[in-house]
């Protein structure tokens, strides 16, 4: 006799797709979504990750997709871009073996962690009251972010409502999304390194030229200065020419100051580092700042409560603040607000911060912020180049180049943010001293 067992799971009812047909349709749809993620065409990492999260959430019909990345020690994962109920955003949270040991162990034991009932599964017990319950998460699917034989983090898919059984096609799609995120991270790192290399090469070339010019010019100045001083010493005290010679000597000394700046840019000028608290340095500079800028400029302080120990050349710190505050004052010809800020910046992994790429580490941050005219994108990209100035004949174009060169000598970083009509902010990041 023919087998009369129910074959609905294979053939289905008339006109209804079979399980195999549904699987194939889902797999085809997921392939189309993945093929549409043209990662290389996105301008930056945030755009890439935001697009991936959005596409993944829509394809999987989940309320929330988020990207979590390992810190430098690979002891925790930090949240980042997410797509939640059709709205992009950014989370700030941490999960580690210390804070969530059960979840951490389960996450690292499987390629894909599929939780069908988030309210009952013991893997999520550590999140139940603080996360799962308040957000009404019914099911969760986590997959590793993989690239170049390395797991770089986790992509988390969260279903809101009741429980949900994750199909094989969904789990494979989630794993592929993790691979796409990994590719985006790798491409971003390559772009960052290439941009840093181009900037470094440009600044090295300009610094080399500046140093060569300064060295030769300094030799000429020494001859001029020595000759002028000999001529002055040979003149009577009341001689009319003596005043002219004094003018030559003064001009030679000012020119020597310019050559010193050029040598600093070229990293040929030694720095004498000493232990300092960055907040104390800024607080002490406040009165000097008031004497530099127009009286219509309001000066505010936003200083860190905790100590910010650094090893730095105090003369350089004062010169850097002088340059940045002076520039800020010129950017506010009709008055405005100048704010001097200090703070602690901790980057658990290489990141994009203040418009530039930064390595992982702990930094003491000094920010000079103004409400002035701002800069165009082209001006912002050239702002640290020697001899480049937005002040016309009133500027030498050396002030910010000195700041850039000095920060490199200190093993630190400098970054600028600006927008036309909305002011500028310059950030100096010093390695935090032990």
Q: pLDDT tens-digit profile of 174-218?
A: 999 998 898 888 888 787 777 667 766 666 666 666 666 766 777
The reported pLDDT for the residue numbered 421 is 85
Residue 63 DSSP symbol: S
Q: What is the pLDDT of residues 343-353, one digit of tens each?
A: 999 887 777 67
Return the minimum-mean-pLDDT range out of 3-17, 81-95, 299-313: 3-17
State the Cα torsion 419-421-422-424 to the nearest 10°: 60
Provide the whole-model pTM: 0.55
The reported pLDDT for the residue numbered 301 is 93
Categorize the per-residue pLDDT at 7 as very low, low, confident or very high, splitting at 50, 70 and 90.
very low
Residues 103-111, mean pLDDT to the nearest whole number: 89
Share of the chain above pLDDT 70, in %: 82
The reported pLDDT for the residue numbered 12 is 47
Q: Are 432 and 364 in contact (CB under 8 A)?
A: yes
Instruction: Give the whole-angstrom CA distance, residue 155 versus residue 143.
Output: 5
Residues whose CB is less than 8 angstroms from the CB of residue 289 and which lie 6 or more positions away in sequence, other chains included: 299, 321, 325, 338, 340
pLDDT at 11 over 60: no
The reported pLDDT for the residue numbered 8 is 41
The reported pLDDT for the residue numbered 410 is 84
Q: Are 357 and 192 in contact (CB under 8 A)?
A: yes
Bridge partner residues of 164 (DSSP): none
Q: Are 346 and 362 in contact (CB under 8 A)?
A: yes
pLDDT at 386 over 90: no
Bridge partner residues of 351 (DSSP): 358
The reported pLDDT for the residue numbered 120 is 93
pLDDT at 369 over 60: yes
Q: Are 352 and 413 in contact (CB under 8 A)?
A: no
Between 7 and 253, the higher pLDDT residue: 253
Q: What is the pLDDT of residues 242-281, one digit of tens each?
A: 888 888 888 887 777 667 666 665 555 556 788 999 999 9
From the list 393, 358, 394, 388, the residue with the least C-alpha distance to 376 is 388
Residue 131 DSSP symbol: I
The reported pLDDT for the residue numbered 3 is 40
H/E element, 425: strand 424-431
Residues 368-375, mean pLDDT to the nearest whole number: 92
From the list 165, 182, 177, 258, the residue with the least C-alpha distance to 214 is 258
Residue 271 DSSP symbol: -
In order of their start, the domains of the chain are 19-192 (3.30.450.40), 270-431 (3.30.565.10)
Instruction: Give the whole-angstrom CA distance, residue 16 versus residue 25.
Output: 13
Categorize the per-residue pLDDT at 341 as very low, low, confident or very high, splitting at 50, 70 and 90.
very high
């Amino acid at each position: 006799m023919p087998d009369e067992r129910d074959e609905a799971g294979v053939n289905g009812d008339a006109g209804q797709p079979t399980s195999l047909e549904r699987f194939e349709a889902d797999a085809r749809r997921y392939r189309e979504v993945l093929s549409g993620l043209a990662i290389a065409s996105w301008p930056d990492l945030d755009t890439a990750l935001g697009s991936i999260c959005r596409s993944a959430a829509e394809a999987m019909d989940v309320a929330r997709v988020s990207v979590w990345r390992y810190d430098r020690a690979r002891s925790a994962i930090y949240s980042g871009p997410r797509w939640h109920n059709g709205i992009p955003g950014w989370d700030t949270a941490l999960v580690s073996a210390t804070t969530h040991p059960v979840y951490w162990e389960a996450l690292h034991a499987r390629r894909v962690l599929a939780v069908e009932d988030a309210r009952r599964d013991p893997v999520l017990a550590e999140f139940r009251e603080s996360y799962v319950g308040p957000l009404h998460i019914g099911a969760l699917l986590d997959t590793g972010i993989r690239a170049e034989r390395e797991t770089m983090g986790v992509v988390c898919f969260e279903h809101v409502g009741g429980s949900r059984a994750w199909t094989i096609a969904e789990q494979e799609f989630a794993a592929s999304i993790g691979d796409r995120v990994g590719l985006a991270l790798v491409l971003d790192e390559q772009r960052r390194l290439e941009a840093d290399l181009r900037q470094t090469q440009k600044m090295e070339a300009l610094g080399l030229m500046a140093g060569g010019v300064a060295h030769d010019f300094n030799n000429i100045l020494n001859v001029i200065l020595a000759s002028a001083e000999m001529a002055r010493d040979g003149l009577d005290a009341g001689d009319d020419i003596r005043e002219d010679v004094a003018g030559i000597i003064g001009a030679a000394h000012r020119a020597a100051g310019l050559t010193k700046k050029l040598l600093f840019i070229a990293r040929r000028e030694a720095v004498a580092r000493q232990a300092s608290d960055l907040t104390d340095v800024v607080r002490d500079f406040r009165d000097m700042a008031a004497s530099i800028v127009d009286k219509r400029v309001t000066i505010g302080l936003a200083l860190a409560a905790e100590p910010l120990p650094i090893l730095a050349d105090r003369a350089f710190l004062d010169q850097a603040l002088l340059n940045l505050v002076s520039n800020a004052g010129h950017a506010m010809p009709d008055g405005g607000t100048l704010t001097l800020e200090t703070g602690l910046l901790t980057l658990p992994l290489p990141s994009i911060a203040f418009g530039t790429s930064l390595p992982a580490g702990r930094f003491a941050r000094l920010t000079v912020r103004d409400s002035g005219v701002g800069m165009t994108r082209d001006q912002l990209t050239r702002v640290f180049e020697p001899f480049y100035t937005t002040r016309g004949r009133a500027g030498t174009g050396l002030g910010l180049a000195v700041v850039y060169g000095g920060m490199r000598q200190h093993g630190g970083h400098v970054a600028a943010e600006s927008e036309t009509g909305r002011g500028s902010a310059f950030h100096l990041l010093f390695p935090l001293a032990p």
